[in-house]
Amino acid sequence: MSASGTPRPDTFDIHLFDLDGVVTPTAAVHMRAWAQMFTSFLASRGVAEPYTDEGYFAYVDGKPRYDGVASFLASRGIALPQGEPGDPSDQEAGAETVCGLGNRKNDEVLRMIREDGVEPYPGTVAYLDALAADGERIRLAVVSSSRNAEEVLRGAGLRERFEVVVDGNVAEHEGLPGKPAPDTFVHAARLLGGEPARAVVYEDAVAGVRAGAAGDFGAVVGVDRGVGHRALAEAGASLVVSDLAELLEPRHDQKHDQKEEQA
C-alpha cells in the first residue's frame, strides 16, 4: 500500500529507523514486559478488566515509557503521581508512581534481553546491506523512544551500522518531546546534516508514523508487525510493507530491466 507519486525509499540520502519492531523484534519483548507489569499492577488494585494487546497498541506502542504508562492508566481512570525517573521499581518499596511502574517494566525488559539475547530481523539486515552498497552518500540513524537502544543495538551486533542514535536518553537531555511529536526524528536528520525533506522514516507504530507525517519527511515507510496496513496508512505512512525485505524487490526488478536494455 503506497501513496501515488511517493519516491522510492532508497533514493533518499538520510534513513531514520525506529528500533523496536523495525530493526529488532524487541517490540515483542516490550509487549510481554508491559503485559506482565500491568497485569500485576491491575491485580493489586483489584481491577477486573484485564490488560490486553489492544490496550498496548492503543495507549502504549511507540510512546516514551512514562508517557505510555500515563496514557494506559488514564484509559482506566487510574490516577497516580508522576514521580521521578529515579523512583524505585519494587512494588514493596513505597508508593507507586508513573515513573516507578515504567521502571518496573524496564527492569523486566533488560532481564529478558540479557537472558535471551537479541536477533535483528533478517529482512532489515538485508536492506541495511543494500543501503550500505550505495556508498557514502547514505546516512543512517536509529530514532527510538527506548532508553535501552544502545544496549539492544550492541546485543544485535548492529551498533556500528548507525552513525547516530537518538533514544530516550538523548530526548531527555535535549528536551525533545517524544513520538508522536516529530522532534526526535528531525533532530536525528539534522545531526546527519540534512533536513526532513531529504530523509525517510521507517516505523512500525502508529505514534511513530504520525511523528514522521507531522515532520514533513520525504517519505514515511510503515512496517506492519501487527498494527495493520490500514492503520499505518491512515496515520500517514506513504508506503506500508510487512518487512523491509520487500523494498529490495524493486531494486532487483530495476537491475533486471537494465540488463535487458543492455542486451
Catalytic residues: 18, 20
Residue 57 C-alpha cell reads as: 497498541
Residue 6 C-alpha cell reads as: 511517493
**Helical (H) or strand (E) element with 240:** strand 239-241
Q: What residues pair up with 203 in beta bridges, in sequence order?
A: 222
Residue 250 C-alpha cell reads as: 524493486
- Provide DSSP, 123-174: HHHHHHHHHHTT-TT-EEEEE-S-S-HHHHHHHHT-GGG-SEEE-HHHHHHH
Residue with cell 532508497: 10
One-letter amino acid for residue 122 of the chain: P
Range 97-101 contact pairs with CB under 8 angstroms and sequence separation of 24 or more? 98/66, 98/69, 98/70, 98/73, 99/66, 99/69, 101/37, 101/41, 101/69
